[in-house]
Amino acid sequence: MTRLVMRTRSKPYPVTIGGETKFICGCGLSATQPFCDGTHKQTRDEKEGTICWYDADVGRNEVADAFPNIRIPSE
Ligand code: FES
């Protein structure tokens, strides 16, 4: 089974519990879920108005690459 989940956040959520701060992954790409492993840096230069997906090696692809007839509305 394969599941696509949309994430728009490109940075972690800082959470402080008992005086200790942990960083929870907000981008969905961390290999150490639920914690951030820094992989969100791969999302920083995503182009506005595009939808990206990442393969198992965190290689970026755009939805339009797989479905060339999809038009993505600008925000
Ligand atoms: S927020 Fe996902 S890896 Fe950092």
- Cα distances (angstroms) measured from residue 2 to each of 17, 19, 21, 34, 73: 34, 38, 33, 19, 25
Tokens of 72: 């993505």
| Ligand 1 binding pocket mutation candidate from 27, 33, 42 (most atoms within 8 A of CB) | 27
Query: Which residue range(s) make up the domain with 32?
Result: 1-75
Residue-wise pLDDT tens digits, 23-54: 999 999 999 999 999 999 999 999 887 889 99
Cα 48 from Cα 57, distance rounded (Å) = 23
CA quadruple 25, 26, 28, 29: dihedral sign: negative
Is the separation of the CB atoms in 36 and 25 below 8 Å? Answer: yes
> Is the pLDDT confidence value at 75 over 50?
no
**Structural domain count, the chain:** 1
pTM score: 0.79
Q: How far is the CA of 15 from the centre of ligand 1 (A)?
A: 13
More confident residue, 11 or 1: 11
